[in-house]
Amino acid sequence: MNKTSARIDARLGARIGMATAIVLGAAASAMAQEPPYPTFSSSVDTSTFYIYTQNESSDDTQHAFASISPTMTLEWWDNAFLSSTFNITDYQPPGQDSFFQHEDLAVDDINFFVTDWTWSGQVGKTTVPFGLAPSNAPGLFGSNFVGDYDFGGRIMVLGGYDFAQVLADGTAGSHNLVAGSFFVDTTFMSATAFGEVDRTRKGDGGPGNTESFDSFFVTYDASSVPVLPGGINYRLSYIYNAAGLGDTGHEEGYSVGAVVPVPLAGRSALESASGDYIAINIVGEYAHFNNFGGVSGVDQDYLTGGFEVVDGQWFATATTTTRWIDDPTNDETDHLYALSAGYNVNAAMSFQLGYAYQEITGASSHMVGLQFSYNFNVTDYQSWWPNFGKPAYVLTNDQLLKNYRQD
């Protein structure tokens, strides 16, 4: 997969998703309706990109592509979910010009999830919850380096326990301890639908590619910890990737990261939806890996810092990452500096312009990118099983917001 496009899409999907979730959550509470089960919901995140890269040691490249991610969730009964996310995106070989030429379809995630909001369990194909920066480093190019440790495409079983009610009767935020075991997906789902990416095989080797549950992770997540007015979110992670065929060592990683929102004006869901909101979001993370990539003696470290300023519907970001590569034969230090600015037309639509300067193994490059994103809430709320054969009961995002404002 083209990592830049996948990361950008995930990041913008998260941004739009959080904004929509604030409105929908408040609206649903105001309406106080509980659906008959099963229920079905779906949405589609879409983004279109143009990226121009000026390279010091190679030809300049231009890259235009789309990224489309349909997500579907089926809640079989109260708090038992089956969810799936597909992704249509670009898989162009690096260093080549491409204009919508290598688009293909892949299965990103498919999971069965059960929870009582204290205990939780999950099984399926998903992403290891390691580190915060891959999905939270702000800006169009903010995750270019930290995407190295975005461990997606894993067949996984995991469980978690939230200590929220144990700590200060739930007033200290959410404190979730999650652990699980996994291996790299080598099923038919590892290939793209039209041949841009071949199916992964055990013989390909690589960390975690063992077709057995001998890789594992442990993550401690804390969110909305009331240390500051906006709360603090942080994550401590450990991952063990068993050696695959041809690897000379098992890969181990550690990370500590935090996201700190600092609201300056406007905190309610309605103020956020109407644009009367000013805030600063601060992101920081350090990650260390032993035997990175399954190569014995190769260690890598990442230090990321970033912030985002949100003023109504406008936002601006700055991010920097330093990557240290400790190789027995050659040490390298890579640098990334990225800036972005954009406008949220509404909770679903946004524009963003970004710039990045990066140095990799001593060669520098400049990147300029433009992005347009739109989120389609196909069905926010639909009860279909008890009414099979009858007109579906659907509330759109606009209807939910209208009802909320009336209340």
- The number of distinct structural domains making up the chain is 1
Percent of the residues in the chain that have a pLDDT greater than 90, as a whole number: 62
Q: Does residue 238 carry a pLDDT above 50?
A: yes
Q: Does residue 302 carry a pLDDT above 70?
A: yes
Q: Residue 86 in contact with residue 45, Cβ under 8 Å?
A: no
* Residue 227: per-residue pLDDT: 85
Q: Does residue 44 carry a pLDDT above 90?
A: yes
Comparison of pLDDT for 67 and 395, the residue scoring more: 67
Closest residue by Cα to residue 61 from 99, 5, 102, 7: 99
* Residue 149: per-residue pLDDT: 96
Q: What is the DSSP string of 139-205?
A: SSSTTTTGGGG---SEEEEEEEEE-TTTSGGGTT-EEEEEEEEEEE--SGGGS-TTSSSPPP-GGG-
Percent of the residues in the chain that have a pLDDT greater than 70, as a whole number: 82
Question: Which of the four pLDDT bands, split at 50, 70 and 90, describes residue 24?
Answer: very low
Question: Which of the four pLDDT bands, split at 50, 70 and 90, describes residue 6?
Answer: very low
Residue type (1 letter), 215 = S
pLDDT, tens digit (0-9, with 9 covering 90-100), for 245-266: 999 999 999 999 999 998 888 6
Residue range of the domain that includes 306: 3-406
Q: Residue 370 in contact with residue 50, Cβ under 8 Å?
A: yes
Question: How far from 386 is each of 38, 75, 244, 258, 277, CA to CA, in Å?
Answer: 8, 13, 48, 44, 41
Q: Give, as one character, the DSSP assignment of residue 386.
A: T
* Residue 404: per-residue pLDDT: 38
pLDDT, tens digit (0-9, with 9 covering 90-100), for 158-202: 999 998 878 777 788 889 999 999 999 999 999 999 999 999 999
pLDDT, tens digit (0-9, with 9 covering 90-100), for 197-231: 999 999 999 999 999 999 999 999 998 888 888 88
Question: Which of the four pLDDT bands, split at 50, 70 and 90, describes residue 273?
Answer: low
What CATH number does the domain containing 92 carry? 2.40.160.10
Average per-residue pLDDT for the chain: 83
